[in-house]
Amino acid sequence: MTDTDMKIDPQRAAALVSQIKTVRERIAAVANGRDVRLVAVSKLKPANDILALVQQASPPQLHFGENYAQELSQKAELLPRSIQWHFIGGLQSGHCKSLAKIPNLFSVSSIDTEKKAQLLDKYRGEYLSSLPPPSSPPSPSPTNTPVPAPGKINIHIQVNTSGETSKSGCAPGAPTISLCRAVAALPNLHLLGLMTIGAIARSVATTPETENEDFLCLREQRDLVAAELGLAPEDLELSMGMSEDYEGAIVAGSSEVRVGSTLFGARGPKSEAKIMV
């Protein structure tokens, strides 16, 4: 079954389009002219919802984030290749091979060890080597957006800015610098920037007028890594901000925000989720 066989409920589609329009307007209001990437976090939501935003939002929403490797692989098989997938969940070594084979995987935003980076690089290289040489330019997708050829996977290094033992991520300082340097040297990965989730309490308290310590820490780490790697700070993205705090994150300099429940509504239990309805 493919996206052409999927049914889209008109009322659900209209609600999703309205919600993403509101989020985009709120982003623009605080972005001060900067281009901030909106990643629609579609975990545990059906592919029908994603297709509705691809086909009916204006412009089409193409960046979607998933937390579970198997769910992402299944959705990528069903949905248009023009979608740019982001893996934003906790990365396990066993996920690397399947993720690396997704042609339109835009990024992995949760690299926190060199071993995981090396595995992802290895399997991406094997996948790219297995592809036939391109015979013609990429063809437009059903949304009239060119489908890019598979290439390097963008990487955000996850930094544990809050120091919580329950959080994944590199410790700030030397560990973050070392991992960034290692990723930058891998041939099939591209060091896109740094990511943090941060403390929930700080997230809830964040407004466009208040500072979030996790956001400040990530920005400091980005500047430190850039200096150590001989890059300009603007060469490295900051990926921070979710439904609760994305406006404050943008004010603090975020290049990318991950918004899920504000767009799609509350999620039910994983056991009840369906890939397609």
pLDDT confidence of residue 147: 74
Looking at the predicted structure, is the pLDDT value of residue 253 above 90? yes
Convert the pLDDT of each residue in 107-129 to its tens digit: 999 999 999 999 999 999 999 99
Percent of the chain with pLDDT over 90: 79
pLDDT at 29 exceeding the cut of 60: yes
Cα–Cα dist 54/28, whole Å? 20
Q: Which CATH class is domain 3-128+148-266?
A: alpha beta
pLDDT band at 139 (very low <50, low <70, confident <90, very high): low
Q: Where are the domains of the chain?
A: 3-128+148-266
> Does the structure show a pLDDT above 60 at 141?
no
Write out the two tokens for 124: 């991406």
Mean pLDDT of the chain: 92
Quote the pLDDT of residue 2. Answer: 56
Give the whole-angstrom CA distance, residue 180 versus residue 190: 10
Residue 206: what pLDDT? 78
Q: Examine residue 59 and say whether the peptide bond preceding it is cis (omega within 30 degrees of 0).
A: yes
Angle at 39 between CA 27 and CA 193, to 5 degrees: 95
Span 241-257, average pLDDT: 94
User: Residue range 75-96: average pLDDT?
Assistant: 96
> How many other CB atoms sit within 10 Å of the CB of residue 265?
14
Give the contacts of 100 (CB within 8 A, at least 6 positions apart). Answer: 120, 123, 124, 126, 127, 153
Q: Return the amino acid letter for 180.
A: C
pLDDT at 140: 60
pLDDT tens per residue, range 191-244: 999 999 987 788 777 777 778 999 999 999 999 999 999 999 999 999 999 998
pLDDT at site 134: 72
Question: pTM (2 decimals)?
Answer: 0.93
For the chain, the distance separating the N- and C-terminal CA atoms, rounded to the nearest angstrom, is: 12
Q: Determine phi and psi for 116, rounding to 5 degrees.
A: -65, -40
